[in-house]
């Protein structure tokens, strides 16, 4: 392991920042204190800082001392999740119902660590933009930044991001193509007509329709879609009725669709709409469907993935590197930055004996042991991709 010495010196400080952020979580587009914390730190190191990009986003811009050249964007997410932390850690969330359950406190800290080290020794040619993004967890923070001209105001030839993962501590997984799935979400409301359960002929019972919709749509992957293109349809909630002897007016289903291929994604959306409508109408009910696609598939470009592979292998050694594992069924809104710029999103393992819980688990905590690893990867990425002789 060859960590960057100036980053290693920051380990105690970075751990304190990370725990401060962990104790004070803020949800998407409400990262006011977090953005202030980030902006104050960047300014204190003499980094040009722009706040309010995509509402609560922050961008720090640093130019290398080896001359002009290309430009890189490195993105960290800042938002927490609406859940309550289970464990009474000394740095546990102070706010019930909010928790850094996905490690974005750690991502923010690693990028701050890299910014601090690079500001002291900007041994590169060109420009790096440190992109602190709000609202990654389904609230559209990446798109908000892009819509406010992120890449016009802060031109980036390439973009990079990382996510902690339940892989062993220090293991790095890089995909040279698709990393993460598209995630759609749907809500189906079946409108019927209630009545006494003993007089069903007077009712239009929405429950059997909802049940048929559930069974039909969950069976779609591998039937209507090619079994070689992975897809998942999961109904996560089904609600209807309150009493054993009453037929309710309405039934609700909500769920998610995960895919890697846009065509498969479209096929499933069309089929879900068609099945819901037809199943309901077959018995005289009607449906309202809300279908949203907040996350596209996350797809790396090969040249930038190869660059990340070289840097990961330099910093962590080739034995810690996993190239092209199966893509994740989870999703990531960095996908929208990758739609506009070449780049790479990779995974950094953090699991050890005291960090077994996966992200979004109420027992989860980011592992501070990977702070110097992530920050070192970012420093070396900037130095190598913006070397004075051009990208290596
Ligand atoms: Zn998450
Ligand atoms: Zn996350």
In this structure, are 223 and 248 located in the same domain? yes
Is there a binding annotation on residue 156?
no
Is there a binding annotation on residue 107?
no
In this structure, are 20 and 115 located in the same domain? yes
The CATH number of whichever domain residue 274 belongs to comes to 3.30.70.360
Instruction: Report how many domains make up the chain.
Output: 2
d(CA 385, CA 270): 43
| Ligand lying closest to the C-alpha of residue 75 | 2
Residues whose CB falls within 8 Å of the CB of residue 251, separated by 6 or more in sequence, listed in order: 189, 190, 192, 206, 207, 209, 210, 238, 239, 240, 241
Residues within 5 A (CB) of ion ligand 2: 102
Element (H, E) at 264: helix 262-282
In this structure, are 42 and 149 located in the same domain? yes
In this structure, are 38 and 152 located in the same domain? yes
> Is residue 255 a contact partner of residue 248, using CB atoms and an 8 Å limit?
no
pLDDT of residue 330: 86
Ligand 1 centroid to 79 CA: how many Å?
Answer: 9
For every one of its 392 residues, what pLDDT tens digit does the chain have, with 9 covering 90 and above?
899 999 999 999 999 999 999 999 999 999 999 999 999 999 999 999 999 999 999 999 999 999 999 999 999 999 999 999 999 999 999 999 999 999 999 999 999 999 999 999 999 999 999 999 999 998 999 999 999 999 999 999 999 999 999 999 999 999 999 999 999 999 999 999 999 999 999 999 999 999 999 999 999 999 999 999 999 999 999 999 999 999 999 999 999 999 998 899 999 999 999 999 999 999 999 999 999 988 999 999 999 999 999 999 999 999 999 999 999 988 999 999 999 999 999 999 999 999 999 999 999 999 999 999 999 999 999 999 999 876 54
Examine the fold and report which residue of 295, 328, 343 is the final residue of a domain before the chain moves on.
295
Ligand 2 centroid to 148 CA: how many Å?
Answer: 22
Ligand 1 centroid to 331 CA: how many Å?
Answer: 8
d(CA 138, CA 135): 7
3-state secondary structure of 289: strand
Asked whether residue 11 is assigned to any structural domain, the reply reads yes
In this structure, are 52 and 143 located in the same domain? yes
Which domain does 29 fall in, by range? 5-180+297-385
d(CA 11, CA 9): 6
Asked whether residue 391 is assigned to any structural domain, the reply reads no
Ligand 1 centroid to 102 CA: how many Å?
Answer: 5
| Ligand lying closest to the C-alpha of residue 360 | 1
In this structure, are 47 and 156 located in the same domain? yes
d(CA 217, CA 88): 41
In this structure, are 115 and 205 located in the same domain? no
The values of phi and psi at residue 109, to 5°, are -65, -40
Asked whether residue 275 is assigned to any structural domain, the reply reads yes
In this structure, are 41 and 154 located in the same domain? yes
The dihedral formed by the CA atoms of 135, 305, 51 and 15, expressed in degrees to the nearest 10: 80
Is there a binding annotation on residue 191?
no
Centroid of chain to Cα 273:
27
Asked whether residue 215 is assigned to any structural domain, the reply reads yes
Ligand 1 centroid to 364 CA: how many Å?
Answer: 11
Ligand 1 centroid to 360 CA: how many Å?
Answer: 6
Ligand 1 centroid to 72 CA: how many Å?
Answer: 24
In this structure, are 278 and 365 located in the same domain? no
The single residue listed with the structure tokens 């409508």 is 277
| Ligand lying closest to the C-alpha of residue 366 | 2
Distances in whole angstroms, Cα of residue 165 to Cα of each of 3, 34, 193, 215, 331: 19, 23, 47, 32, 13
| Ligand lying closest to the C-alpha of residue 165 | 2
Ligand 1 centroid to 137 CA: how many Å?
Answer: 6
In this structure, are 224 and 110 located in the same domain? no
In this structure, are 221 and 355 located in the same domain? no
Ligand 1 centroid to 358 CA: how many Å?
Answer: 10
Asked whether residue 366 is assigned to any structural domain, the reply reads yes
Asked whether residue 274 is assigned to any structural domain, the reply reads yes
Ligand 2 centroid to 264 CA: how many Å?
Answer: 25
| Ligand lying closest to the C-alpha of residue 334 | 2
Examine the fold and report which residue of 295, 328, 359 is the final residue of a domain before the chain moves on.
295
Asked whether residue 94 is assigned to any structural domain, the reply reads yes
Is there a binding annotation on residue 102?
yes
The DSSP letter of residue 352 is: B
| Ligand lying closest to the C-alpha of residue 104 | 2
If one counts every other C-beta atom within 10 angstroms of the C-beta of residue 354, the result is 9
The CATH number of whichever domain residue 312 belongs to comes to 3.40.630.10
| Ligand lying closest to the C-alpha of residue 77 | 2
Distances in whole angstroms, Cα of residue 56 to Cα of each of 107, 214, 331: 16, 38, 22
| Ligand lying closest to the C-alpha of residue 161 | 2
Asked whether residue 192 is assigned to any structural domain, the reply reads yes
Ligand 2 centroid to 297 CA: how many Å?
Answer: 15
Is there a binding annotation on residue 137?
yes
In this structure, are 313 and 372 located in the same domain? yes
Examine the fold and report which residue of 258, 274, 295 is the final residue of a domain before the chain moves on.
295
Ligand 2 centroid to 61 CA: how many Å?
Answer: 24
């Amino acid at each position: 392991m060859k960590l960057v010495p100036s980053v290693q010196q920051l380990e105690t400080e970075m751990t304190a920042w990370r725990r401060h952020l962990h104790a004070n979580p803020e949800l998407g587009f409400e990262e006011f204190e977090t953005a202030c914390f980030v902006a104050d730190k960047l300014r204190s190191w003499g980094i040009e800082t722009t706040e309010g990009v995509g509402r609560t986003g922050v961008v720090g811009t640093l130019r290398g001392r080896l001359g002009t050249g290309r430009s890189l964007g490195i993105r960290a997410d800042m938002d927490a999740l609406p859940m309550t932390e289970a464990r009474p850690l000394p740095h546990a969330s102070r706010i019930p119902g909010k928790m850094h359950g996905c490690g974005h406190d750690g991502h923010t800290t690693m990028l701050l660590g890299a910014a601090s080290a690079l500001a002291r020794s900007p041994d590169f040619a060109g420009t790096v933009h440190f992109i602190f993004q709000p609202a990654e967890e389904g609230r559209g923070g990446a798109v908000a930044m892009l819509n406010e001209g992120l890449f016009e105001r802060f031109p980036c030839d390439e973009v990079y991001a990382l996510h902690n993962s339940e892989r062993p501590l220090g293991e790095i997984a890089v995909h040279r193509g698709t990393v993460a799935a598209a995630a759609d979400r749907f809500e189906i409301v079946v409108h019927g007509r209630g009545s006494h359960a003993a007089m069903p002929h007077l009712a239009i019972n929405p429950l059997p329709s909802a049940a048929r919709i559930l069974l039909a749509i969950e069976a779609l992957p591998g039937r209507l879609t090619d079994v070689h293109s992975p897809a998942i349809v999961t109904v996560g909630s089904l609600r209807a009725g309150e009493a054993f002897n009453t037929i309710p007016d309405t039934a609700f289903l909500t769920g998610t669709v995960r895919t890697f291929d846009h065509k498969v994604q479209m096929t499933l959306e069309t089929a879900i709409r068609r099945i819901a409508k037809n199943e309901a109408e077959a018995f005289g009910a009607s449906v309202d469907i809300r279908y949203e696609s907040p996350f596209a598939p996350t797809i790396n470009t090969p040249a930038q993935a190869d660059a990340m592979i070289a840097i990961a292998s330099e910093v962590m050694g080739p034995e810690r590197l996993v190239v092209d594992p199966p893509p994740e069924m989870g999703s990531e809104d960095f996908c929208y930055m990758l739609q506009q710029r070449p780049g790479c999103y990779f995974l950094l393992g953090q699991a050890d004996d005291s960090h077994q819980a996966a992200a979004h688990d109420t027992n989860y905590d980011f592992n501070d042991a990977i702070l110097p690893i992530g920050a070192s990867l970012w420093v070396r990425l900037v130095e190598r991709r913006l070397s004075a002789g051009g990208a290596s």
